[in-house]
Amino acid sequence: MSSDTLSAFVAGAEDHHASVHRSAPDAVAGTVADLIDPPAVGVRLPDELDLPEGVATDPTPAELDAANTGISAARLAIADYGTVVLESDAAGSEAVSLFPERHVAVVRAGDVVPGMREAMAALGDRLRDGASEVLATGPSATADMGDLVIGAHGPRDVEIVLVEDRDE
Amino acid sequence: MSKPDSRAETAARIRHLLETEGDAVAENTRGFNRGRHEAVRELEDYEALKSEARAIKEDAIERLPELIDDLREAVEANGGRVYVADDAADANAYVREVVDGGTVVKSKSMTTEELELNEALEADGAAVTETDLGEWVLQLADEAPSHIVGPAIHKSREGIADLFAETFDLAGEDRPETAEELTRFARERLLRDIREADVGVTGANFLAADSGTMALVTSEGNARKTAVVPDTHVAVAGVEKVIPTVEDLAPFVELIGRSGTGQDITSYVSLLTPPVASPPVDFSDLESPIAASGTAAGDGATEAHPDREFHLVLVDNGRLAMREDDDLRETLYCIRCGACSNSCGNFQSVGGHAFGGETYSGGIATGWEAGVEGLDTAAEFNDLCTGCSRCVPACPVKIDIPWINTVVRDRINRGGDPGRFDPLVEGLTPDDETGGLDPSKRLFGNFDALAKLGSATAPLSNWGASLGPVRAAMDRWLGIAPERDLPTFERETLVDWFESRGGPRVSEGMARREAVVYPDTYTNHVAVDRGKAAVRTLEALGVRVHVPASTAVASGRAPLSQGMVETARGKAERCRNALLAEIDAGRDVVVIEPSDLAAFEREYERLLPEADATALADGCYEVLEYVYGLLENGADPAGLTAAGDSNATGGDDDNGDCDDRDIDDDRDRDDGDGITVAYHAHCQQRTLDLEAHTVAVLERLGYDVTTSETECCGMAGSFGYKSAYYELSMDVGEPLAEQFCDADRVLASGTSCCEQLDALLGPSTEGSTEHPIEAISPPEG
Ligand code: SF4
């Protein structure tokens, strides 16, 4: 992925009240650990990326309720908007990314696409195969209570770990 | 609607809403609208994106039956069920069976409001909780939404705090006050309901026929919880939400938030292909993991979770009939973004409780309500559309919303029977409309006849109209606001003046171009000075100008705004005959009144054969656009009046009784000899993108120009003359008055804008509002 696209992604995320933390693959566990407000729940990451110690994978509803941080993988990211595309999968990524006040999303630099059109093109066949995705941009928000409030039903804090291979 | 009583009731209802909800609605809608302007500016190819979105919708509605079949196949292949419901009762019966008296959480859905689904479920003993914070507030308050995107924008934070305190008996420390506290309180309460719910009900913003994917556009995250926490999900959506493919979602995702609330994208766009793979979260069993042990991100993502149940209820409820209706069909392209509400001056002042029907509100509500509820419902608020057209460029699918309002108004005038035609008309003047037409509509629709009579009998006509008893009778019988100054008719019309001065003054040999100044009804009979100014200006720029009596034909714009489509068509045909003859003779048609220009450029295609409409649109120019073109092509502006010339000063006096609100007194004042002019382009002129030409010409002549930031002056044609709407019209104009209050000189392009600004800014000796052509024209003589 071009460095232009990646810097656009960082800027897009920041515009939407999210932060991006760049990390090498073998440093992901450490980077995520720094972003956790415990207790944390998470979904096992793909591609042999590690979660830090102390993150409850396979969470129960009780753990989900108690968690301050949820960690999940993003399948794709959209540079223009700083959006992460979260997958609704059998591992419970949807709940993990939605209930806790802080969401840490892990996305590979190679999965960052420039714009909405590229994202939809990349998702089309997967959706036709039956997958479900959430384009998540920044924290949840509402203006229904008389003023803009960050953090409504979903997280109020979004941290994105951008995983860059050395040759990327 | 025509009886004096009902007019008084309408006025009272509007006054009440202006007082109770107007401020909150104004603040929110104007904020959304400003946000839209900024957010679309960032888009590289906004117009192309809108065209693409429209093309997708056109195609989808055209192929709707086929797409519904495809969608059914896709959803069933995933393991869900699809039910196409004929009407509200049918849809509700289906959902009632699924819910079976259980507990329900819902995310915001206008379609379920249309069905009154909550009431239907509650009749079975089901507990239903709205999870969108705005909707929840309304559920607690037992109120209807006032806006299709921000349902509770009419409520203040204080009002919500009181509501929560009262409903949940909260006092002291426990009482949430700030927006933050109120949100937190609501989130916690609602989470309890979501955890216990048997069924989650959502709407759907779009449905892709190729995959069975539904898009849910939200910011709060409540729709995500509603759809995936309970094991049963029911999505309820109008049939018009179906689009062919998931790739087609791209332009809509980029447009919907920008158009509505001014966000470039909302926090969440869920693309659910239900039944989804995500495990339901069963809070009755707190200790069992929600997912099968050992699963990782992405596992099983394309398989439906075995415990999940999904029902898609597609609602017809009049939509398939709208699809067959050439005038209402476009309504089905609507993506419910709310931009038409936010960009509407009247809506900004009163909101959807006045400008709305059973379910839908804002400009497009007329189409929706006429289609799903019937003409009676649409009739209750349709008059609030003034046809100003500011919603047209705001609509991401380019719906001609004013035209839908005009057609529905016409059908209402005809008592709901589009075929009814009564040639034996009674009433003020003969026209092509039915006998039962509201007399005030008939009066405004035939303003040209009145103007002819007015000029012929001036000054007697003016004197008569200003008499107290005459005004009282006009109010009672015609609904004309007694507070509003009436137009003063000139005895010598523009056509007479032009003839008496001996026709064109620029010789054929010397002329750079030949043009006809179109003597619209207003310019010809009332605002004759601006017509003379136009003639002098064009002559100074070397144009051989004609104002032939044969072209003094009403455009049909006036009857159109009253919904008198047949009368308008007749006038349009006569006007076309007159003007095309001039164009065929090699003359340009120069138009002063923006609403007439809009009729030629936007509306004649609905009234005349396409070729005629195109020829006329191509041959006509807005007057300052024409001046701009002449100057660009080398005409010498030396003969025109520039800012520094003595007769250009409007004086430093404030305009009459304008109180010193928060205006920066020194703004733009001290740039050398530049005269500050405040310029308000007419709404239709802005829609046609013609404001810039006037500004460029004024600046070229040395004026410092401030343009208006509001969408509308509030008058829009005959609207402000009507007693039921007079106060609303003044309220809409207030922000413009605040902005222009301190200007040296105020210019406006439309007749109604000039009148409104005069009324808003108060009487003033020198400072009455003029057309820009009057500011730049060479002095008389
Ligand atoms: S008519 Fe257009 S502007 Fe109005 S809500 Fe529908 S899509 Fe939006």
Alpha-carbon gap: A116 to the closest alpha carbon of chain B (Å): 6
CA gap B285, B353 in Å, rounded? 44
Residue recorded with tokens 């009731």: B9
The low-confidence residues of chain B, meaning pLDDT below 50, are: 1-2, 418-429, 648-657, 659-672, 765
Count interface pairs A-B at CB distance under 8 A. 244
CA gap B529, B493 in Å, rounded? 10
pLDDT digits (tens, 9 = 90+) for B404-429: 999 999 998 887 554 443 333 333 44
Name every residue whose Cβ is closer than 8 Å to that of residue B34 and which is 6 or more positions away in sequence: B262
Atom of ligand 1 nearest to the CA of B335: 7
User: How many C-beta neighbours within 10 Å does residue A11 have?
Assistant: 14
Tokens standing for B403?
């035209």
Q: Which of B252, B255, B340, B359 to mutate to test the pocket of ligand 1 (most atoms within 8 A of CB)?
A: B340
Q: Taking a contact as any Cβ pair under 8 Å apart, which residues of chain B between 309 and 348 contact chain A? A: none
Name every residue whose Cβ is closer than 8 Å to that of residue B120 and which is 6 or more positions away in sequence: B92, B95, B96
Instruction: List CB contacts (< 8 A) between B215 and chain A.
Output: none
User: Whole-angstrom distance between the N-terminal and C-terminal Cα of chain B?
Assistant: 50
- B351 CB under 6 A from ligand 1? no
Q: Does B208 sit within 8 Å of A120, measured CB to CB? A: no
- B599 CB under 6 A from ligand 1? no
Alpha-carbon gap: B181 to the closest alpha carbon of chain A (Å): 9
Nearest to B254 among A60, A93, A116 (CB): A116
Q: Torsions phi, psi of B285, nearest 5? A: -125, 90
Q: List, edge to edge, every strand of the sheet that includes B81-85.
A: B81-85, B309-315, B232-238, B199-202, B103-106, B127-130
* A117 interfacial to chain B (CB closer than 8 Å): yes
Question: pTM for the full model?
Answer: 0.91
Instruction: Report yes or no: B542 and B506 within 8 Å, Cβ to Cβ.
Output: yes
Name every residue whose Cβ is closer than 8 Å to that of residue A148 and which is 6 or more positions away in sequence: A141, A142, B179
CA gap B312, B82 in Å, rounded? 5
* A14 interfacial to chain B (CB closer than 8 Å): no
Which of A57, A94, A111, A147 has the highest number of chain B CBs within 10 A, making it the mutation to test binding with B? A94
Nearest to B219 among A132, A133, A140 (CB): A140
Cα of B340 to ligand 1 centre, how many Å? 5
CA gap B267, A157 in Å, rounded? 12
Handedness of CA B93, B94, B99, B105 (dihedral sign): negative
* B145 interfacial to chain A (CB closer than 8 Å): no
Name every residue whose Cβ is closer than 8 Å to that of residue B351 and which is 6 or more positions away in sequence: B17, B21, B22, B25, B29, B146, B147, B153, B154, B361
Nearest chain B residue (CA) to A78: B265
Q: Does A45 sit within 8 Å of B131, measured CB to CB? A: no
Q: Does B253 sit within 8 Å of A46, measured CB to CB? A: no
CA gap B435, B425 in Å, rounded? 5
Nearest to A147 among B157, B246, B279 (CB): B157
Q: List, edge to edge, every strand of the sheet that includes B745-748.
A: B704-707, B676-680, B745-748
- B339 CB under 6 A from ligand 1? yes
Ligand 1, atom 3: closest residue by C-alpha: B395
- Per-residue pLDDT, A168: 52
Instruction: List CB contacts (< 8 A) between A95 and chain B.
Output: 228-229, 278-279, 281, 290
Nearest chain B residue (CA) to A122: B247
Q: Does B301 sit within 8 Å of A89, measured CB to CB? A: yes
User: How many C-beta neighbours within 10 Å does residue B52 have?
Assistant: 18
Instruction: Report yes or no: A9 and A162 within 8 Å, Cβ to Cβ.
Output: yes
Q: Which residues of A94-119 are buried (b: 16+ CB within 10 A; e: fewer)?
A: bbbbbbbbbbbbbbbbebbbbbbbbb
The low-confidence residues of chain A, meaning pLDDT below 70, are: 1, 166-168
* B179 interfacial to chain A (CB closer than 8 Å): yes
User: How many C-beta neighbours within 10 Å does residue B384 have?
Assistant: 26
Nearest chain A residue (CA) to B24: A146
Q: Does A130 sit within 8 Å of B302, measured CB to CB? A: yes
Tokens standing for B630?
């002449």
Q: Which of B57, B148, B336 to mutate to test the pocket of ligand 1 (most atoms within 8 A of CB)?
A: B336
Exposed/middle/buried for residue B334 (C-beta within 10 Å: 0-12, 13-18, 19+) = buried
CA gap B354, B19 in Å, rounded? 12
Per DSSP, the residues of B70-122 read: HHHHHHHHHT-EEEEESSHHHHHHHHHHHHTT-EEEE---HHHHHHTHHHHHH
- Per-residue pLDDT, B651: 43
Cα of B659 to ligand 1 centre, how many Å? 37
Alpha-carbon gap: B383 to the closest alpha carbon of chain A (Å): 29
Q: Which amino acid is at B518?
A: Y
Q: Taking a contact as any Cβ pair under 8 Å apart, which residues of chain A between 30 and 59 contact chain B? A: 43-46, 58-59
Nearest to A91 among B183, B282, B295 (CB): B295
**Which ranges in B476-589 belong to alpha helices (H)?**
494-500, 521-525, 528-540, 557-561, 565-584
Tokens standing for B576?
């076309």
CA gap B172, A6 in Å, rounded? 49
Q: Is the ipTM of this complex over 0.95?
A: yes
- Per-residue pLDDT, B150: 92
Cα of B391 to ligand 1 centre, how many Å? 8
- Per-residue pLDDT, B11: 86
Name every residue whose Cβ is closer than 8 Å to that of residue B686 and which is 6 or more positions away in sequence: B390
CA gap A50, A1 in Å, rounded? 23
CA gap B671, B560 in Å, rounded? 44
Ligand 1, atom 8: closest residue by C-alpha: B337
Residue recorded with tokens 């402000």: B720
CA gap B380, B467 in Å, rounded? 32
Nearest to A138 among B229, B267, B298 (CB): B267
Tokens standing for B57?
């919708």
Nearest to A61 among B282, B297, B300 (CB): B282
CA gap B131, B222 in Å, rounded? 6
CA angle B303, B305, B307 (to 5 degrees): 155
Nearest chain B residue (CA) to A72: B297
**Which ranges in B154-216 belong to alpha helices (H)?**
157-168, 179-196
Cα of B265 to ligand 1 centre, how many Å? 17
Query: For chain A, what is the largest distance between any 2 Cα atoms, rounded to a whole number of angstroms?
Result: 48
In terms of Cα–Cα distance, which of A59, A57, A69 is closest to A158? A69
CA angle B493, B690, B557 (to 5 degrees): 45
Nearest chain A residue (CA) to B255: A116
Atom of ligand 1 nearest to the CA of B343: 3
Nearest to B249 among A16, A88, A120 (CB): A120
- B404 CB under 6 A from ligand 1? no
CA gap B130, B509 in Å, rounded? 75
- B340 CB under 6 A from ligand 1? yes
Q: Torsions phi, psi of A87, nearest 5? A: -100, 140
